[in-house]
Amino acid sequence: MMDMTLRYYGPGYDSVSLEHIRQVPGVKGVITTLYGTKPGEAWKLEEIQELKKYIEARGLRISGIESVNVSDAIKIAGPERDRDIENYIKTLENLGREDIHMVCYNFMPVFDWTRSELARVRPDGATVLAYNQDVIDKLDPDHMKESIESMSNGFVMPGWEPDRLDSLKELFALYADIDSDTLFANLVFFLKAIGPVCEKYDIKMAIHPDDPAWPIFGLPRIITCKASYERLLRAVDKPYNGITLCTGSLGTDPNNDLVDIIHYCKDRIHFAHVRNLKYNTPRDFEEAAHLSSDGSMDMYAIMKALFDVGFNGPIRPDHGRMIWGEDAMPGYGLYDRALGAAYLQGLYEAIVKNN
């Protein structure tokens, strides 16, 4: 059985409350984080305990962490790498002690996910995140801060924190000599270093794919397609080294066959983000409602493939549209994600009953 969850950024950061999340049918757990921590810092046991207590007191549980972010020093093998890895290990140990066993992270340089618009209006009046390659090609990374700040409804978005946007020039400089092979080697080094603590506490590491699934701004991207998974899962061939199957991110590249990727990765899928998107032209897509009929993906085929490989980890709807006048962090309002959770569970119930 899958564990249907919603992402929750934590008290003080999320516009959606746990009281509301608890009323989404079938959702018993949240995927959360210590949003105030910086990559490279060790998470304190007491802070994890406090967050856990807060969530459990409201009738939900922590189904996993998204994200424990990986520092730039680890990604580029900079001078602070050893210290940051030690801190990462400490964090994993503290999470393991609190019985938390799934950690989502990414290995994208400088930016996390990237969109050219955060509120494109669709024909039904909903607003959605969208990506247009021509707009991105014209964006000057030096002025990214202004573009992002004017688009984010005043919320701080993951990967786009103000202090990072302040130092984009320096960040780009750090990655100047990092090509995709070096980045990949640094990922493998990191995964090997955290292996013992993951195995001791049975922590499953779930790398998030790059979004969009191709290099942007001249920066390398290494988790984009089936071949990347072949390389990654072989390089550290241990159960703890697994993936976040994110249909929206992998699906940005229409050449990615999601069903085939799910069958290839099988039991190394530790977490699933299931959402739909709609392609308008080969250089332009927008995020759709979760329903197959609203976008370009076959959501039934995706849920069926997850069922077929016996996936039983946490799963969540992702990037909802902004509807019904909700004011929330782009992609992370309550209403459309709740619709998504209900729809995905409907597909799943039908699949289970037919098998």
Q: Residue 5 interacts with ligand DNO (CB under 6 A)?
A: no
Cβ nearer to ligand DNO, comparing 120 with 319:
319
Nearest CA to 180 among 278, 77, 116, 109?
109
- Tell the burial category of 238 from Cβ atoms under 10 Å away from its Cβ (0-12, 13-18, 19+): middle
Residue 264 is among the residues annotated as catalytic for this protein: no
Q: Is 237 considered catalytic here? A: no
**With CB under 6 A as the contact rule, which of the stretches 51-59, 106-114, 187-195, 250-258 interacts with ligand DNO?**
106-114
- Cα angle vertex 69, ends 65, 70, to 5°? 135
How many CA atoms within 13 Å lie on the side-chain side of 85?
23
- Interface stretch with ligand DNO, choices 9-17, 103-111, 177-185, 275-283 (CB under 6 A): 103-111
Binding ligand DNO by CB under 6 A: which of 41, 112, 253, 308? Answer: 112
Please report whether residue 106 would count as binding ligand DNO according to CB under 6 A. yes
332 assigned to active site: yes
Compare residues 127 and 177 and give the one whose CB is closer to ligand DNO. Answer: 127
Alpha-helical segments (H) within the chain:
18-21, 45-57, 72-76, 81-97, 133-138, 144-151, 162-166, 168-174, 180-201, 226-235, 247-250, 258-265, 299-308, 335-353
> How many residues in total does the chain contain?
355
Binding mask 44-73 for ligand DNO (x = CB under 6 A): ----------------------xx------
Question: Is 104 tagged catalytic?
Answer: no
Q: Is the peptide bond before 67 cis (omega within 30 degrees of 0)?
A: yes
Residue nearest ligand DNO, Cβ-based: 67
Q: Does 105 bind ligand DNO (CB under 6 A)?
A: yes
Residues touching ligand DNO, count (CB under 6 A): 13
* Identity of residue 302: I
List the catalytic residue out of 318, 336, 343, 348: 318
Asked if 104 interacts with ligand DNO (CB under 6 A), we say: yes
Which pair of tokens denotes residue 291?
């329903």
Taking residues 139 to 178 in sequence order and writing x for each that binds ligand DNO by CB under 6 A, - otherwise, the string is -------------------xx-------------------
Distance CA 176, CA 219 (A): 8
Applying CB under 6 A, the span of 40-48, 54-62, 104-112, 143-151 interacting with ligand DNO comes to 104-112
Around Cβ 285, how many Cβ atoms within 10 Å? 24
Pick from 208, 275, 290, 304: which binds ligand DNO (CB under 6 A)? 208
- Give the Cα separation of 170 and 162 in Å (integer): 14
Residue 61 burial (CB < 10 Å; 0-12/13-18/19+)?
A: middle
Site map 237..276 versus ligand DNO, x via CB under 6 A:
------------------------------------x---
Alpha-carbon gap, residue 102 to 222, rounded angstroms: 21
Partners of 244 in beta bridges: 271
- Give the C-alpha separation, 64 to 100, whole Å: 6
Nearest approach, Cβ of 247 to ligand DNO (angstroms)? 11
228 CB neighbour count, 10 Å cutoff: 21
- Known active-site residue 101: no
Binding test (CB under 6 A) with ligand DNO, winner from 9, 113, 184, 271? 113
Q: Is 246 a catalytic residue?
A: yes
Q: Which is nearer to ligand DNO, 9 or 177 (CB)?
A: 9
| Closest distance of CB 329 from ligand DNO, Å | 9
Catalytic residue among 101, 208, 270, 290: 208
* Closest to 300 measured CA to CA, from 348, 247, 245: 348
Using CB under 6 A, list all residues that contact ligand DNO: 66-67, 104-106, 112-113, 158-159, 208, 273, 319, 331
The residues annotated with a catalytic role in the active site are: 208, 246, 273, 318-319, 332
